[in-house]
Structure 1
Amino acid sequence: MARLYCIAVALLLLAEVSRFGEGASNPGFVVRITRKGLEYARQYGVAILKKELSTMELPNFSGSYKVSWILTVSYEFNWLKIKRFELRDTDLSLHPGQGVRASLSNSYMSVRGNWKVKKAFITLEGTFDLSVDGISISVSLNLGKHQSGQPTASVAHCSNSIGQVRIAISGHLSWILKLFHEKIENSVKNILEQKICEMVRKSTVSYLEPYLRTLPVTLMIDQVAGIDYSLVGAPQVTSQFLDTSFKGEFFGQSLHSPVLFDAPPIRMPQKYDHMVYFAVSEYVFNTASQVYYQAGRMNFTIKNEHIPLDSPVHLHTSSFQTIVPQLTRLYPNMELELEMSPESAPFLMFIPGNMTLMPVVDIQAFVLLPNPSDRKPLFQLRVRTNISATISVSSGRITGSVTTGSKLKLELKHSNVRLFSVQLMEAVLNYYALHTIYPYLNAKLEAGFPLPLPRDTTLNSLELQIHKDFLLLGANID
């Protein structure tokens, strides 16, 4: 079940929903399944359905039949076992504005069992082989919403028909049964018509519904944040694909503040090379930025111990003698610390082929006094820069990294040690950014966040593209 079949069905079921979790103007996350994905899903669906129908238990049946005006016999058919089941012609089709239809036709089944005939104190018995041709099944599915916010599946309609039943009877005096084979064949046909849809409903309850419950509604990322993957609207069905929209919004676990900006519309390109496409709006990343900013997790301190040993400039007053001459006179042979905090949550911007951040960061410099618990503020800088971001996907998680897009530009906001050369300070901080700040950020971004995938699902043949306002990931699924 842990293949695209399950993902496809989980998404296709949503096509039966007319209203589900409305409220958001635009989704942060869209999953598109293409006809290529549907075909892959159909193949696995056929395999699973064949396995389920092949294990279908057929009940014993009995009756009586008047052979002639003087002879009435009782018969029993038992130990019915399905020996072979073939699903020949199958179709999974998209119907714009209606949903998805699954149909199976021209299928075949063979059954073997025992028969017994009684007349007074005489009992005759033997075996029989039954062939059933022209089995057709049509199924439509409906989806509801569990109180937990997860989808639930149920069979809205199931119908089937049996084309022709033939019975081959062996055993002593089996000619008696052949006299009323039509009655027996009709009985078998009625049993099968009832049991097939019963098995479809049972499979939905036993397999599909539990699998749907593995689709995440919320995922905890760490102690600070989680992500909301609840549905925000009815899926859009066309003749070529099915789109399902998710909220895709980060939230704080301790402080769940409302998002004060809207998700931009996602205009997905007409691409059908992969089975499934994930469109991840910049909204997803920017809600994450807001949550971590509000939690204070974007603030960090650079200490001398963080500076590489081979660095030409350490966080020490002697290293800053040329840049800030007053430091060595006021605070000889003392270490420094730099506290960094963004002025606001930095937002990631998507343009075709590129992702950038333009954060504005305050840097406060301190000198560490001989008493380890004391430190004195020295100066405050405002830093502006352009950062390039790279996104990758591994094991169903979106991860990131950043590199410098432009050098840091500094502005002196306040100084307790007189004026000094901002240009020289820029050179020092650009070195720190390259060797300390960016590696620190990349270590944090390496954890990433998961895609909304059911259990045991892996992606392959990945293709990443950056479009205006969103990232597009094309993938096939094992």
Structure 2
Amino acid sequence: MQENKEQRPYFMNYSHSIYTRASNQPRALSMLSLLILLLNLTNHAFGENPAIKAILTNKGLQYGSHIGADWMQEKIWSMIIPDISGGVDIGIGTVHYVLDGISVSGCDVPEPSVEFYEGVGLKTGISGFSISMKGNWHTRFGIISDGGSFDLAVFNVDVTSVVQLGSDYSGHISISSENCDARISKASITFHGGASFIFQPFVTLFKDQMTALIEEKICPMVEEHVTDLDQHLAEMQVSFKVNSALVLDIPLTNPPLVESIGLGLDLKGEFYSVQSHTDPPFKAEHFDLPKDDGHMLSLGLSEFTVNSASYGYFSAGLLQAKINDSMIPKTSPFRLNTTSFGPLIPQLPKLFPNMLMELQVYARDVPMFSFQADKVTQEFPGAIKAFAIQPNASRTPLFNLNVDSIFRGMIRISEEKLQGLMKLNNFTLTLASSEVGTFQTAALEKIVKMGVEVSVLAKLNAKLEEGIALPTMHHIHLVNPVLKIQQGFVSIASDLDVKSAERESISEGIYPYQL
């Protein structure tokens, strides 16, 4: 019997509840959809300290298994089942048969099992799966042809598979089939109509042949789909454009760590400026992420991740602002002109009488975040350049000030973004250079502090409110996340929800198989 390369036994879809195939791209292990989306890894980064860590717990793995059972129960009734053809030797010749018009009339789908296989990967299986079908039969024995209807049932289908997780030279996750075993305990065929009574005595021969054919095809199909998945993961990219300024890269820095109670992933977790892919002048430090068995996923983001975002904004020249008089509240008695600055810098209105001024406020170095227990601190080394605006609109430099600020605040999770709010905790101002002579800065410090709060702090909080996207992917969403600020990193423990759109995308493109 020749196998059609385009179609495979429809039993392959049913005998192992977690294997499907799409017409345009590989589909595999629906109960592992959480892993697939968490493991879209590329770009070699081995040897580096990870800035992001993730731990998938057994609770998360079982949730993925439950999704697989729900998906299959919904889809199995709409399956298109191809014709089955073959021949049975009855001693005096071969009876050629065709079963067509096959449709599902009932199914019993037990919960698939999945567990972490320490040091290897995942062990998946389904036990006691059964399905009943109905259709038409046609036989030919020499010049004798006949036909009618039939009922077909396959009982107690058991499949177990061990999938090995690893990594390739470029930092992708790799998946390979380590072991597979398939067993079908029972099948039943009943013919109706025509001269079916003639063929009913040979049902055992039909059953044995079909059962053997199904069993021998299951594991090759499992291995084929695992190979497809491995290729699919190898082609996936993990460079996410967070906003118009930043890109986030999260390749593996170490091979996956598979333990009996969870799967650990070490990710690079570095932000880059969209304009230039330049590494920041600091490295990620080691941290240990605690596992929370009460949640599906534990996630850790180190100071490096947030500071690389800060470096990305800084290197792109986005941490700066211009302040002019139109931005000062009209009710303020202090205006941004040389006259108002007279009491602070007496020589200024003499050199530049009755002129408007403009302040350029910017970061003179990378603002750095640090995490301590329940507290976030940011040091912002800033600077201010002051200009006088001439009648012809040209700008004349006046003086430069260094402004060193320390902000403290909080962070939170909202809409799957890490957001925050910072307040000014310490502020000092010193004169760096001057084109109008030296002057005291104490009084000016109070006014500039107000300007920093109105402009710079407002812009900083706008960026923090915009948020840094957490490395969740596609249709996986965090449910009731718990955030803790710890020494050097932020930990997030959360349950997960795979939205229906993802379940639909997993099941797209199912097509029939044929013996």
Give the TM-score band, short-chain normalised.
0.7 to 0.9
Q: Which moved more, 1:267-276 or 1:279-288?
A: 267-276
Q: Which residue of 1 aligns with 2:55?
A: 32
Alignment pair present for 1:8 and 2:34: yes
- Cα 1:294–1:74, aligned 2, differ >3 Å: closer, same or farther? closer
- Structure 2 distance, partners of 1:154, 1:311, is 69
> TM-score normalized by structure 1?
0.85
Alignment pair present for 1:336 and 2:357: yes
Higher relative contact order (CA 8 A, sep 6+): 2
Report the CA distance between 1:183 and its aligned residue.
0.9
- Structure 2 distance, partners of 1:163, 1:123, is 31
Could you give the per-residue CA deviations for residues 351-385 of structure 1, whole angstroms, max 9, x where no partner exists? Answer: 111111122222222222223113132x3322222
Q: Which residue of 1 aligns with 2:4?
A: none
Cα RMSD (Å) of the superposition? 3.4
Alignment pair present for 1:317 and 2:338: yes
Q: Which residue of 2 aligns with 1:457?
A: 476
User: Equivalent residue of 1:388, what SS?
Assistant: strand
The amino acid across from 1:469 in the alignment is G
Q: Which residue of 2 aligns with 1:47?
A: 70
Report the CA distance between 1:102 and its aligned residue.
0.8
Q: Which residue of 2 aligns with 1:230?
A: 251
**Cα pair 1:215 1:453 within 8 Å, conserved:** no
Paired residue for 1:382, among 402, 406, 417?
402
Could you give the per-residue CA deviations for residues 240-274 of structure 1, whole angstroms, max 9, x where no partner exists? Answer: 22121221112234443333322112211232332
- Structure 1 distance, partners of 2:332, 2:32, is 54
Count residues with an aligned counterpart. Answer: 468
- Structure 2 distance, partners of 1:351, 1:163, is 59
Provide structure 2 residue ranges, at least 5 long, that are not aligned to the other structure.
1-26, 498-515
User: Equivalent residue of 2:474, what SS?
Assistant: coil
Report the CA distance between 1:59 and its aligned residue.
4.3
The amino acid across from 1:23 in the alignment is F
Report the CA distance between 1:129 and its aligned residue.
1.6
**Cα pair 2:48 2:268 within 8 Å, conserved:** no
Could you give the per-residue CA deviations for residues 426-455 of structure 1, whole angstroms, max 9, x where no partner exists? Answer: 211221122222112222333333333332
The amino acid across from 1:349 in the alignment is S
The amino acid across from 1:382 in the alignment is N
The amino acid across from 1:25 in the alignment is E
User: Equivalent residue of 1:113, what SS?
Assistant: strand
Alignment pair present for 1:192 and 2:211: no
- Cα 1:152–1:51, aligned 2, differ >3 Å: closer, same or farther? farther
Paired residue for 2:418, among 389, 393, 398?
398
Report the CA distance between 1:93 and its aligned residue.
0.4
Paired residue for 2:81, among 53, 57, 64?
57
1:56-95 pair list within 5 angstroms: 57=81, 59-66=83-90, 74-79=95-100, 80-95=102-117
> TM-score normalized by structure 2?
0.80
Alignment pair present for 1:431 and 2:450: yes
User: Equivalent residue of 1:348, what SS?
Assistant: strand
- Cα 1:21–1:149, aligned 2, differ >3 Å: closer, same or farther? closer
Alignment pair present for 1:99 and 2:121: yes
Q: Which residue of 2 aligns with 1:474?
A: 493
Report the CA distance between 1:194 and its aligned residue.
4.4
- Cα 1:140–1:49, aligned 2, differ >3 Å: closer, same or farther? farther
Alignment pair present for 1:350 and 2:371: yes
> Matched residues, percent identical?
26
- Cα 1:102–1:114, aligned 2, differ >3 Å: closer, same or farther? same
**Cα pair 1:384 1:409 within 8 Å, conserved:** yes
Report the CA distance between 1:233 and its aligned residue.
1.7
- Structure 1 distance, partners of 2:72, 2:30, is 15
- Cα 1:273–1:318, aligned 2, differ >3 Å: closer, same or farther? farther
The amino acid across from 1:238 in the alignment is E
- Structure 2 distance, partners of 1:256, 1:73, is 69
Report the CA distance between 1:53 and its aligned residue.
6.1
- Structure 1 distance, partners of 2:175, 2:75, is 18
- Structure 1 distance, partners of 2:424, 2:415, is 27
Report the CA distance between 1:146 and its aligned residue.
9.5
Q: Which residue of 2 aligns with 1:287?
A: 308
- Structure 2 distance, partners of 1:343, 1:291, is 14
- Structure 2 distance, partners of 1:242, 1:236, is 6
